[in-house]
Amino acid sequence: MSTTFQLDTATSRANPTPSPMKRLTVPAIRVRKRDGVTAEPIVMLTAYTARTAQLLDEHCDLLLVGDSLGQVIYGLPSSVPVTLEMMAAHGAAVVRGSYHAVVIVDMPFGSYEQSPAQAFASASRLLKETGCAGVKLEGGEAMAETVAFLSARGIPVMGHVGLTPQAVNQLGGYNARGRSKAEAAKIVADAVALDKAGAFAIVVEGVVEPIAIEVTKAVACPTIGIGASAQCDGQVLVTEDMLGMFDRVPRFVKRYEAIAETISGAVAKYAEEVRSRAFPGTEQTYQPK
């Protein structure tokens, strides 16, 4: 038995609740791909809060506490300003709200690029403060030494190649990568380097489909596509994008719901009832004892 924290929706408080140890593990994710084939594709979504984690957990193999929370939660222009403190706080919330999925936390910009030692200090802090199963970092061959350093010291690492949002200033935008032969070759080389360094999985983002397929065939670990190819070993989306929380989303995102419209409609109805004094319960007058 293990103790996890479940959110009591009646009080909006997280309470410790004993539950059987059912959580998937990093090795279980890694071995999904055998001899270059993943029979059961890996399901991954982002989560930033305990309640969201609860709702996603039973359906997902992996929950990613992405640095995309910078835009989604904090309204920042990119993920670059996101801090380690932000990632630790949201990572801990997601771990508390889940019991089944493997929780991976993004390493924010500036927390790992300087050296393997810096990366270890940041990653070990995230594991200690959140209880997550591993971390994700961006970059290819340049980060291979760091991935090997962390993996050798007991920290599972998910890689990230192709469109790397933390490098948006250098890339000049969020356009698909791999259109030129040189760039395509670099993306494949980056993925191979991360795989050899010990990454247990690699996110392939915003890459033209033929290159995403080539990457998936070139590495032994699973690939997780986002705006890449259905032939990757798994898929990930920003949950708020696929639920329709925003008016504008990337072209590759399929909206499964229109949650923003549902919320707006419910709030409009609430506001109308309050202003007309028809709000349920207001007809009762409090009588002190």
Concatenated DSSP letters of the chain = -EEEEEEETTTTEEEEEEE------HHHHHTTEETTEESSPEEEEE--SHHHHHHHHTT-SEEEE-TTHHHHTT--SSSTT--HHHHHHHHHHHHHT-SSSEEEEEPPTTSSSS-HHHHHHHHHHHHHHH--SEEE--BSGGGHHHHHHHHHTT--EEEEEES-GGGHHHHTSS--B--SHHHHHHHHHHHHHHHHHT-SEEEEESB-HHHHHHHHHH-SS-EEEESS-TTSSEEEE-HHHHTT-SS---TTPPP---HHHHHHHHHHHHHHHHHTT--TTTTSPP---
Q: Is 209 among the catalytic positions?
A: no
Exactly one of 205, 240, 261, 283 is catalytic; name it.
Answer: 205
Q: What radius of gyration do the chain's Cα atoms show?
A: 21
Active site residues: 205
